Structure formats: structure tokens, C-alpha cells
Amino acid sequence: MPWPGGVVEDPVLGALACAFANLRYHRRMTILNDGERATSEVELGAAASLFRSLADPGRLVILQHLQQGEHRVRELTEHLGLAQSTVSAHLACLKGCGLVTSRAEGRASVFSLSVPAELVGVFQAAERLLEATGYAVDLCPVYGSTGTRK
């Protein structure tokens, strides 16, 4: 029997899909050390993914700019001087990561930060960390702006 509209009708498949969704959305982790037990590398995976989602100057400039308020793709390309394909790819990534949300307005999508206060908190902490370390990371041969990994 075909699945109308892509809806999973098989109860077993449905339950499996639900279990995977729960695994994906309810897996809790903490970066902060609570002193009770060692956190495994696997448990820190979501935190590493979060930092990877932020580890691109293009995505950072988009997140920074969206702090001013919502924007269409065309507006972001104009205001940031980036190619539309670049902006669209970054927005798709940021949306998938849950950092950006969008709503339809006519035929265009309007993008905004999904959790602005939390994101600004991370950026403020990052700025304090950069200050406290004297921007040493910028000179790092691996991750610095002149390093090989961009």
C-alpha cells in the first residue's frame, strides 16, 4: 500500500521513527563538568557539532547580522556582499542546526534567529574567551585564520 503524502502508516515503522526522533531530540549532554563522572566523547558530540556549525566566518556573519532583525535571502546578499548561493547554503545549514528559523512571506522566506538570547550569550562568552586568551587561537597553526583548516 502506498504512503499517501509520505505519512508513515505502518505502526512499527512509525514507532521506530519516533524512537529515533526521541534519540535525536532528547539526548541530553552538558559541556560543563558537574564533577560526578567523566563525560564521554560520544556524549560531547552534540556540543562539538554546535561549535562546527559556528565554525565558519560566513555563517558567523549571517548570525551576527540577523541580530538586527529578520531578513530575506536577497537582503542578506545585499547587506553582506555574499553570493546568493553562499547565503542560501549557510541558511540551510543554520536552519538544520536549529539556530535560524524562517517564515513564508509571499514567495520569499524571511529568516531570523530562533533563539537570539542564547546565541548572543554564546557570542558574549566567546568574546570573553578570546580576550582572556589574547586571541591566541588566531595564531594557532591548525585553527588560526592563517592555518590550514578553514
Nearest distance from C-beta of residue 50 to Zn ion, angstroms: 25
* CB 50 within 8 Å of CB 97: yes
Taking the least distance from each CB to Zn ion, the nearer of 43 and 70 is 70
Residues 6+ apart with CB under 8 A from 44: 29, 31
Residue 68: CB minimum distance to Zn ion, A: 6
* Whole-number Å distance between alpha carbons of 79 and 61: 11
Closer to Zn ion by CB, 79 or 95: give it. 79
Question: Which range in 5-13, 43-51, 73-81, 139-147 contacts Zn ion by CB under 5 A?
Answer: 73-81
**CB atoms inside a 10 Å sphere around CB 76:** 22
From 79, 109, 110, 137, residue interacting with Zn ion (rule: CB under 5 A): 79
Residues that bind Zn ion (CB under 5 A): 79
